[in-house]
Structure 1
Amino acid sequence: MTLPHRVGLLGVPLSATSYAEVLDLLDVPPTGDRARTLAFCNVHSVMTARKDPELRRALADIDVTTTDGMPLVWALRRLGVPEQQRVYGPDLMEMALPHSVDRGWRHYFYGAAPETLEALLSRVEAMAPGIEIVGSHSPPYRTLTADEEAERLEEIRRSGATHVWVGLGMPKQELFVHRVADRLPGMSLLAVGAAFDMHAGTVSQAPDWIQDRGLEWAYRWAQEPRRLTSRYMVNNPLFLLLLGRELLLDRIGTRTVGPGAAG
């Protein structure tokens, strides 16, 4: 199945896609010698990739990089994708799980603290009665050794999973799905980040009206000001400044779309 085309934004290629298109893609088993990979990008993802070459390469290689945050949606609309919509990781997950029940998907959940993962699995079974969960694992916060990672990947292969949901936080989860894609062929790997915490109930999700206005960052900052102040108070103004420059360059026809992207 053809992947959605991508538009470069500040050096990161973003997929011009929709919930319906992503669900259709996930219904088709990937072919070839590597997994299908998906990541859900927001301002933090884009700004981190500008400073981190490894993450930038990973996002360029990942098959689908959706516009998880409204500022990226608005940016793509200004860059020639007028119908672009948000494809938000927690909402995609909430749609995909019931959607999968009669379609033969087999799910593996990788990430989060043990108590969060336990709560998530209970919530998943309530959201999608009859869902087939073939495995889960809460990895330690430290970096796994090569042997530990190989053992975990072998467990995922043995489970028969078709869809692996990865909630390790950004950028760890994006680097993980990119690194292991060639060792998990035939599967779809989805780096959904905060979706684990939100569906487990350990992190509150912003109301729809806040999300629609692009103010989810303020809602999350109010919940965790000590952890998120530097991220939002530095990244967000800098993003707006760089975006303004990008839009100006696009208007005069000198913008570079970046690696892995189609303008």
Structure 2
Amino acid sequence: MSSPFEVIEVGGIPFAATNLEGATDWVVNDRREGAGTGVSVRLSNSYCVSAAHSDRDYSAVLKGPGVNFADGTPVNWVMRLIGGTASDHVGVRPVRGPSFFEATLDKGRRYGLRHHFVGTTEETLSLLTDRVEELYPGIEVAGTYAPPFAAFSKEFVDDIITKVGPSAPDIVWVGLGAPKQDFVTKAIADRTDYVAVGVGAAFDFVAGTVSEAPSFVQNSGFEWLYRLASEPKRLWRRYLFGNSTFVRLASRDIRKFLGRSGGRT
């Protein structure tokens, strides 16, 4: 499953120059045509860029096979500024994880695509399944699995693949949080013919177990601040250090771009 998208690098990480519609169409059309190869899809934000900067293994995942969509306005802002021709002729916009999740479920049901949800808790997965079946009549939820809490390892992925395999899904949605979910989607894609997508908190948002930011906040570039206020103990360190690192990396990219363009934007 090769990506048709041009790439714009932010902080050294390649992002697909596309938008929500383009990302959704690509995944759904590929699965309905029976591509037969696995692929890792990462919904990556400024935190992911920052984490990859200090983690060589994670950097290798994001720079390796698969596709990174810009899940977040800050990454998208930088892409549109420095993207040159790639951002000139394509509507480069954020591909927000929860929105991509719901859009793909909706479009995929028209073609009988089968989905398996991996992550969070059995209770949340039950609520999630009920909710998506209510929102998208006819959707095929092939199965769900809440793996035990454990670090990423071959054994951890073995367990997931064993549980998912009998359901024969087209797409495996993984809600384990970054960077862990991105290591997992790569391992699944390497060993199966599924599309494996890391979607972070999308399960909780759709299930209703975590409050989602209003649309105007999502579009403002400050959804991270809303989430920080909702879960300060869990997220403060991520956003404090992650955002400062991202600003430094993005500033370097912008300076390079301005140097090449002679200060013209």
Shared fold per TM-score greater than 0.5: yes
Give aligned-pair identity as a percent: 34
Matched, 1:194 2:201: yes
Deviations 1:159-182 (Å, cap 9, x if unpaired)? 111111110111110000112212
Q: Any idea what the Cα deviations from partners look like across 1:230-253, whole Å, max 9, x if unmatched?
A: 222222233223312220112213
User: Mean alpha-carbon deviation: is it higher for 89-98 or for 231-240?
Assistant: 231-240
- Give the alignment of 1:108-257 within 5 angstroms: 108-143=116-151, 146-147=154-155, 149-185=157-193, 187-253=194-260
| SS at 1:209 equivalent | helix
Can you give the 5+ residue segments of structure 2 that lack an aligned partner in the other structure? none
Unmatched 5+ stretches in structure 1: 255-263
SS in 1 for 2:43: strand
Identify the structure with bigger relative contact order (alpha carbons < 8 Å, sequence gap 6+): 1
Distance 1:67 1:169, change over 3 A: same
2:108 maps to which of 100, 108, 112:
100
* Structure 2 residue 50 is the aligned partner of structure 1 residue 31: no
Could you report, residue by residue, the CA deviation over 1:49-103 in whole angstroms, capped at 9, with x for unpaired residues? 1111111111112422111100011000111214310110101111111211120
Q: Supply the distance in 1 between the matched residues of 2:102 and 2:147 (Cα, whole angstroms).
A: 23
Structure 1: which amino acid aligns with 2:223? E
Secondary structure of 1:85's partner?
Answer: coil
| 2:46 and 2:75 in contact (8 A); partners too | yes
Aligned residue number for residue 18 of structure 1: 19
Whole-Å separation in 1 of the counterparts to 2:133 and 2:104: 13
Tell me which protein shows more helix as a share of its residues: 2
Where does structure 1 differ by over 6 angstroms across 4 or more consecutive aligned residues?
Answer: none
- Between 1:3-12 and 1:160-169, the stretch displaced more is 3-12
Look up the equivalent residue of 2:69 and give its one-letter code: T
Number of residue-to-residue matches in the alignment: 252
Distance 1:50 1:147, change over 3 A: closer
In the other structure, the counterpart of 1:259 is: none
CA deviations over 1:88-137 (Å, ceiling 9, x no partner)? 01011111112111202011111111211111111111111111111110
Segment of structure 1 superposing worse, 23-32 or 67-76? 23-32
2:70 and 2:159 map into 1 onto residues whose CA distance is 33
Counterpart Cα distance in 1 of 2:197 and 2:159? 20
CA distance in 2 between counterparts of 1:242 and 1:15 reads 18
How do 1:9-88 residues align onto structure 2 when only pairs under 5 Å count?
9-26=10-27, 27-29=29-31, 31=35, 34-80=37-83, 81-82=87-88, 83-88=91-96
CA distance in 1, matches of 2:242, 2:153: 32
1:157, distance to aligned residue in structure 2 (A): 2.5
Residues 246, 151 of structure 1: alpha-carbon distance in 2 compared, 3 angstrom cutoff: closer
> For the structure 1 residues 172 and 145, does the alpha-carbon distance in structure 2 shift closer, same or farther, using more than 3 Å as the test?
closer
TM-score, scaled relative to structure 1:
0.89
C-alpha contact 1:43 1:72 (8 A) present in aligned 2: yes
Change over 3 Å in CA distance of 1:114–1:246 after alignment to 2:
same
What CA RMSD, in Å, does the superposition of the two structures yield over aligned residues? 1.9
Q: CA deviation at 1:146?
A: 4.2
TM-score (norm 2): 0.89
